[in-house]
Amino acid sequence: MTSSRETVLKAVRRSLQADSRDRAAGEAVEARLAEAPAGVVPARARRPHEEQIGLFIEMAEAVDATVERVDRTDAVPGRVADYLRSRNLAHSIVHGADAWIEELPWQTEPALERRQGRAMGDEQAGFSRAFGGIAESGTLVLTSGPDNPTTINFLPEYHIVAIRAEDIDGDYETVLARIRESYGKGRMPRLLNMITGPSRSADIQQTLLLGAHGPRRLHIIVVG
Amino acid sequence: MQITSPRFKLNAREAIADPQLQRALAHVQVGFIEKRSKAAGKLPEFDALRDSSRDIKNHTLANLDLYLEAYEARVTEAGGHVHWAVDAEEARKIILNICQEAGARRVTKGKTMVAEEIALNPYLEERGLEVVETDLGEYIVQLRKEAPSHIIAPAIHVNKDQIEADFRRFHTDLPPERNLEAPETLLAEARGVLRDRFLTADVGITGANFLIAETGTSIIVTNEGNGDLTQTLPRVHIVLASLEKITPTLEDVSQLLRVLARSATGQEMSVYTTFSTGPRRPGDPDGPEEYHVVLLDNGRSGMLGTQFQDMLRCIRCGACMNHCPVYHAVGGHAYGWVYPGPMGAVLTPSLVGVDKAGHLPNASTFCGRCEQVCPMHIPLPKMMRHWREREFERHLAPASARWGLRFFAFFAKRPALYRPLAGLAMRTLGALGRAKGRFRRLPLAGGWTSKRDFPAPEGKSFQAQWAQRRSGR
Ligand code: SF4
């Protein structure tokens, strides 16, 4: 009995007349997979780094994220606490095991409760660190794992994300190339989330409403 | 899903007479079109990206077998399972089997048109599973026991007051006196109701916008975050995707992502673009323990190498229906199957047969707007014409249409006869219609004149004018 796999592949090959396809075709496929040539990259993404950061902030705000920028890493715990207070939220956050997060001077905010681990669904606010940022569309890139569990990106109503200014790049290609460097060619984190603004839906009469199933609000702290 | 495409004409007539539907459809024409054109206008490279996207898909389709194999190898390496399904029946069985092995009772679903294509929900429900749609639009149509009427806005045919009535009917454990006036409260209620379903589901099923051969990754693009909760919380994640979703590399997918959201909703980027590769890894505190991909053919392999191959470039952005005057008039359900609008008019006959869906390619004014806005440059009008030709060849067109065309062809091929006859017809019609400039009724043209007047010809035929201008030079 031929497997469905063979049946499908055979049907595809028959339609494409793959027998008469020359060897160059196979080589072109190999080469494309190996070299991953870049295509058209918008000019707006290719600017000096400081301008990229500005564009990132502008684009993120345009999709209803709130953004603030701090000079020093030390300032982050205070900003997180301020944000929770300003929104009248419970003074607690859930975050992952990210060393950068752990090393923040949390002692400056003794009243802030922190829990390390995944989100369970009853937390008001989650805190993550982004792997990267994409200026051209104001997009955050987060990777799964114990450092920044995926559930934190989606379950809490408020998602606060810190990103180091040096991790902001112009375009998708640059950030994805960094992923390739970190995880190895052909490999990916289990989950890579590109997040552009807080969740929304236009399914009720084409009216755009914020806060569908994911976070209602997204707050970004750019560090550096 | 029951195919009602053969009764398209009747469906369309009913749709036009449905005031609720007509009210809802009014929203399509304004929102989508304006937003898309703004988003495209803001990106100077938009057209270059469309070209690049088309080329990527053409290259991929020409080598689809090779990319499928590369993709499969990567998924397996990452600890996932790829299941190949020749047709809908096989895909349903595979999915049921995975659910049963997992001892599943409740299944959550992100938005997937391919699941509609294989009529997955009724199949699983008949076998004792509870299936919960989690995209707000899909949830609404599920409550209403309807099918989606648009590929990216499933409940676009429903008005707010209808949603409110549905929620009151189904969410009976909530206080009946609650105020659901504002759309925000409806959204909040759906969020609350579905939250519990997400947390207690055993299996999550999503579609895929793209599959990446380089990395064995599946991608979903959403705005609500429901797809992410669907695939992250349950123990098992099943991705259901058709063959043509394959894209070679991360770079290639970056090109496609730049045109997708802009063409669909006019966003620069959808809120959540999620790349999934395999199941939970050692040390991961969350994520599914099993990751399955069901790769569905269901007629696509047969489209390769034919004049319909270009249709497989489609990235399901919905722009063609958003800009289609026929869709604006009749909505999605009239098309009678899963895929409406111009893309459906081409795809449906390919997948279910021209005998059942032969009317759809005729549901076009050939205004060409769909092709103009299609990010993948799919020649939709041309392909609808191909279907019309096939329908004609297979004698599926009504006898009067066939005789009429044969009559026309006879004269058209014989210019010496055609010219004087056309001239005579024009002069006759012109003389008869001179008083009003139009005809309310014409013999043999009832299909036209029952809905609108036929203008009486003025002056000379095109050929006569052309001859005159050329000799005048
Ligand atoms: S045919 Fe083109 S415009 Fe229509 S859904 Fe597909 S990609 Fe979009």
Average pLDDT, integer, range B173-178: 93
Residue B439 within any structural domain of the chain: yes
Residue B304 lies in a domain: no
Chain A, residues 139-198, CB within 8 A of chain B, namely 139, 144-146, 149-151, 153-155, 171-173, 176, 179-180, 186-198
- Which residue on chain A is closest to B157 by alpha carbon? A205
Domain span at residue B441 reads 414-472
B433 shares its domain with B333: no
Domain of A173 in residue numbering reads as 45-223
Q: Which of chain A's residues have a Cβ under 8 Å away from the Cβ of B280?
A: 190
Q: Indicate the residue among B330, B365, B397 that finishes a domain.
A: B397
**pLDDT band at residue B242 using 50, 70 and 90 as cut-offs:** very high
Ligand 1 mean position, distance from CA B83 (Å): 27
Banded model confidence at residue B409, pLDDT cuts 50, 70, 90 = low
pLDDT tens track for A131-186: 999 999 999 999 999 999 999 999 999 999 999 999 999 999 999 999 999 999 99
Token digits of residue A69: 């920028």
Are B281 and B360 found together in one domain?
Answer: no
List chain A residues with CB under 8 Å of B269: 63, 137-139, 194, 196
Structure confidence by residue, pLDDT tens digits, B220-232: 999 999 999 999 9
| HSE-CB for B104 with a 13 A CA cutoff | 29
CA B47 – CA B54 distance, rounded (Å): 11
Gap between the Cα atoms of B178 and B242, Å rounded:
43
Q: What percent of chain B has pLDDT over 70?
A: 85
Does the beta-carbon distance from B275 to A194 stay under 8 Å? yes
Ligand 1 interacting residues, C-beta cut-off 6 A? B 263, 314-320, 343, 374-376, 378
On whether both B23 and B77 belong to a single domain, the answer is no
CA-closest residue to ligand 1 atom 4? B320
* Residue of minimum CA distance from atom 7 in ligand 1: B314
**Of A32, A10, A176, nearest in space to B70 by CA:** A32
Residues B158 and B194 in one domain: yes
Nearest CB to B301; choose among A11, A40, A44: A11
Q: Is residue A25 part of a domain?
A: yes
Pick from B455, B456, B435, B454: nearest CA to B446: B454
The verdict on A81 touching B (C-beta cutoff 8 Å) is no
Atom of ligand 1 at shortest range from CA of B315: 7
Half-sphere exposure of A37 (CA within 13 A, CB side): 10
d(CA B414, CA B36): 47
* Complex confidence, ipTM: 0.97
Residues 6+ apart with CB under 8 A from B178: B185
Q: Do A16 and B305 touch (CB under 8 A)?
A: yes
Number of domains in chain B: 3
CA B36 to chain centre: 17
Does the pLDDT of residue B473 top 70, yes or no? no
Residue B30: CA count within 13 A, CB half-sphere:
8
A165 and A145 in a common domain: yes
Of A33, A139, A154, the CB nearest to B269: A139
How many CA atoms lie within 13 Å of A50's alpha carbon, on the beta-carbon side? 0
What's the whole-number mean pLDDT along residues A66-86? 98
Residue at A96 is within a domain: yes
Rounded Cα distance, A136 and A45, in Å: 5
Asked if A18 and A50 sit in the same domain, the reply is no
Are B269 and A137 inside 8 Å of each other by CB?
A: yes
Q: Do A8 and B243 touch (CB under 8 A)?
A: yes
Cβ-Cβ contacts under 8 Å, A31 against chain B: none
Mark which of B397, B425, B442 sits at the end of a domain. Answer: B397
Q: Based on the domain organization, do B273 and B337 belong to the same domain? A: no
Q: What CATH number did the domain enclosing A149 receive?
A: 3.40.50.10420
Looking at the fold, whether B9 and B158 belong to one and the same domain comes out as no
